[in-house]
Amino acid sequence: MSVIDPLADDVIHHLHTSDPPPSESQLAEMLSVTRARLARIFDELTELGYEFEIIRNGAVHIARAPDRMIDTEIVNGLRTRTFGRALHCYRQVGSTNVVAIELAESGAPEGTVVVAEEQTRGRGRLGRNWHSAPGLGIWSSVVLRPKIAPDAVTGISIVAALAFAETVDNHLGLDVQLKWPNDGLIDNRKVCGILVELSAEVGRLHYAVCGTGINVAHKETDFPPEIRPQATSLTIAAGRPVDRLAFYRRFLFDFEVLYQRFVRDGLAPLLPIYRARSILLGHTVTVSQGERHTTGMAEEIDEFGRLIIRSQGQRVALNSGEATLRTDT
Ligand code: BTN
């Protein structure tokens, strides 16, 4: 929340955690600030969307916190051990992946998270843009430093997609299908995209940045016309507003749990739950990799996260690409 008085974070932190809640004069004393400065901080917080009320003995209580991706709110109730324990929140960035890569290059630890309300140059897979309008989604990236071979990195995006699906299931009771490698779909429309970028040398991964874009609060008309037919949001799918902060805290927790399991045991134990959500397996698909198109029966996801398809009698293992279901076969 660095855009306003630097002590605003501490005010919110004390109000969230002090028991019993402090009065204004106690708060001023705790933070060693004048009552006038504290009053200005409350004004700034009110502008951000907070609502306060005075309860018994003059104690200040947060009656309503804004649904904004700000650090004090994200950490309030966050149950992770490493994910989000170093947290960088922005109102606007080009791309959270780019910021996370810069942080990783300067030594940021595993689990460092970058979140933005808006991305002006959100990156999608295969060189595409990712539409990241302000306030509507969760645009975030996490720095990861697993001791795995660079070949195994596809597993990270599969794990992130799986975590997203589990969070939606547990939190909203909606069914998410996964389109290899890592698109999250509800009702056949894309609600979540994942982009993993890495720095490696032959045989050794330096770090990976896993960026996740989740459409949360969009109405149909919030999507640009060209992606409208294929896109959806959690709010559209649930038919009611979805709290971004609560969802995001839960996602970070689910992602950390699955990621730690993946680093410890590999992808194999997670594949049965991935397969159960896959829309491709058992169907004829075309996978495009630039100019190369491979069509065949999607048979398997292997322990490296590769899609195995049977094409012209051969088993072909694909590392990446854009898969489409064939409806004409
Ligand atoms: C896709 O094409 O499906 C992947 C989209 C990934 C978008 C997310 S939003 C947060 C992070 N920062 C980016 O620039 N991209 C990823």
d(CA 118, CA 101): 18
For ligand 1, whether the C-beta of 150 sits within 6 Å is: no
202 CA to middle of ligand 1, Å?
26
Measure Cα distances from 235 to 172, 225, 228, 232 in Å: 10, 18, 15, 8
Given CA atoms 96, 97, 102, 106 in this order, what sign does their dihedral have?
positive
250 CA to middle of ligand 1, Å?
19
Choose among 257, 122, 244: nearest CA to 194: 122
pLDDT (tens, 9 = 90+) of the chain, 329 residues, equals 445 788 888 899 899 888 889 999 999 999 999 999 999 999 999 998 899 999 988 999 999 988 889 888 999 889 999 999 999 999 899 999 999 999 999 999 999 999 999 999 999 998 899 999 999 999 999 999 999 999 899 999 999 999 999 999 999 999 999 999 889 999 999 999 999 999 999 999 999 999 999 999 999 999 999 999 999 999 999 999 999 999 999 999 999 999 999 999 999 999 999 999 999 999 999 999 988 999 999 999 999 999 999 999 999 999 889 999 987 65
| pLDDT (0 to 100) of residue 328 | 64
140 CA to middle of ligand 1, Å?
8
d(CA 258, CA 261): 5
**Residue of the CA atom closest to atom 7 of ligand 1:** 213
| pLDDT (0 to 100) of residue 17 | 87
291 CA to middle of ligand 1, Å?
23
3-state secondary structure the chain: CCCCCCCHHHHHHHHHHCCCCCEHHHHHHHHCCCHHHHHHHHHHHHHHCCEEEECHHHEEEEEECCCCCCHHHHHCCCCCCCCCCCEEEEEEECCHHHHHHHHHHCCCCCCCEEEEEEECCCECHHHCECCCCCCCEEEEEEEECCCCCHHHHHHHHHHHHHHHHHHHHHHHCCCCEEECCCEEEECCEEEEEEEEEEEEECCEEEEEEEEEEEECCCCHHHCCCCCHHHECCHHHHHCCCCCHHHHHHHHHHHHHHHHHHHHHHCCHHHHHHHHHHECCCCCEEEEEECCEEEEEEEEEECCCCCEEEEECCEEEEECCCEEEECCCC
Quick one: which atom of ligand 1 is closest to the CA of 121?
14
User: What is the best residue among 89, 96, 130 to mutate for testing ligand 1's pocket, by most ligand atoms within 8 Å of CB?
Assistant: 130
Quick one: which atom of ligand 1 is closest to the CA of 190?
3
| pLDDT (0 to 100) of residue 1 | 44
196 CA to middle of ligand 1, Å?
8
For ligand 1, whether the C-beta of 184 sits within 6 Å is: no
Burial class (CB in 10 A: 0-12, 13-18, 19+), 202: exposed
For ligand 1, whether the C-beta of 141 sits within 6 Å is: yes
The size of the chain, in residues, is 329
16 CA to middle of ligand 1, Å?
32
User: What is the best residue among 119, 128, 140 to mutate for testing ligand 1's pocket, by most ligand atoms within 8 Å of CB?
Assistant: 119
Report the Cα 205 to chain-centroid distance in Å: 22
For ligand 1, whether the C-beta of 157 sits within 6 Å is: no
- List the structure tokens of 154: 């596809």
- List the structure tokens of 238: 């649930």
Quick one: which atom of ligand 1 is closest to the CA of 132?
9
Given CA atoms 60, 64, 68, 69 in this order, what sign does their dihedral have?
positive
6 CA to middle of ligand 1, Å?
30
| pLDDT (0 to 100) of residue 127 | 87
| pLDDT (0 to 100) of residue 68 | 86
User: What is the best residue among 103, 129, 132 to mutate for testing ligand 1's pocket, by most ligand atoms within 8 Å of CB?
Assistant: 132
